[in-house]
Structure 1
Amino acid sequence: MTLNARIAPLLYLFAGLFGLAGVALAAAAAHGGGDAHLVASASAMCLAHGPTLLALAIGAEKLRTAWLAGLLIGAGTLLFAGDLVALRYAGSGLFPMAAPTGGFAMMFGWLAIAVGAFVRRG
């Protein structure tokens, strides 16, 4: 079993959890006051990257870099959205530079998808 095949269930799991969180956070942003823009941004990242992880899981055997892209995008989304939600509801972020670190991880995940276009199956 390839690494992509082994990581696919994890990608499905986080795709579903990010979809759930994205909808819940969108509702919280719509009905919340104060720093609702933080929750709206977290919602947008979850709703954008949940389907991405789903697509990576479905196409894991066709894209050699799916495992790397999925890990980067998943971890990045957790850090980015988690930091914004923590800032909104706990009053402080996860740790200094958590959101930017997550943002860079997501960008590198997308880059891993692009690089996958040039990495051929052996």
Structure 2
Amino acid sequence: MSRWPRILVACAGLMGAAGVALAALAAHAADASRLGPASNMLLFHASAVLATVALAGRGAVHGRVGLISATGFVVASVLFAGDLAMRHFTGERLFPFAAPIGGNLLIVSWLSITVCALWPRRG
């Protein structure tokens, strides 16, 4: 496995760990209504990153587009979950529109996976 897929798999591991930690905090902290969605976003998309890297490696989706999509999942999940966690812990946003930008990037990443899965490979 080349360098970028390994980095993406490592990011997925960190996303999964952070998702579990946020889920535990959400279960035990008072008024942690933002931590549950942040946890879900990280956990669901950590799995999506792993699956996308695996599919790209096996040629089931276009490799480069698949890795770009997986990168989008990582960046978007961090923006979305990071904004929610920042609001919980500090009362401040990560930056204006971080969560909506992350959400839109997630949609684009999912759609790019769809397109590259359906687009016929050459050769």
Q: Using structure 1 for the length normalisation, give the TM-score.
A: 0.90
| Aligned position for 2:9 | 12
- The whole-number CA distance in structure 2 between the counterparts of 1:97 and 1:16 is 26
Aligned to 2:38: 42
Moved more, 5-14 or 98-107: 5-14
Which residue among 42, 51, 57 is the counterpart of 2:53? Answer: 57
RMSD (Å) for aligned C-alpha atoms: 1.4
Which has the larger displacement, 83-92 or 5-14? 5-14
1:31 is matched by which residue type in structure 2? H
Q: Is the 8 A contact 1:8 1:60 kept in 2?
A: no
> 1 CA distance for matches of 2:119 and 2:8?
21
Aligned residue pairs, count: 118
Alignment of 1:91-106 (within 5 A): 91-106=91-106
Unpaired stretches in structure 2, ≥5 consecutive residues = none
Per-residue CA deviations over 1:39-79 (Å, capped at 9, x if unaligned) read 11100001100111111121223211211211111110010
Map residues 61-100 of structure 1 onto 2, 5 A cutoff.
61=57, 62=59, 63-64=61-62, 65-100=65-100
Indicate the larger mover: 19-28 or 5-14.
5-14
1:28 aligns with 2:4: no
Which consecutive segments of 4 or more residues in structure 1 shift more than 4 A? none
Cα distance in structure 1, aligned partners of 2:46 and 2:71: 12
Percent identical residues = 40
In structure 1, stretches of 5+ residues that fail to align are none
Are the equivalent residues in 2 in contact too, given 1:11–1:56 (CA < 8 A)?
no
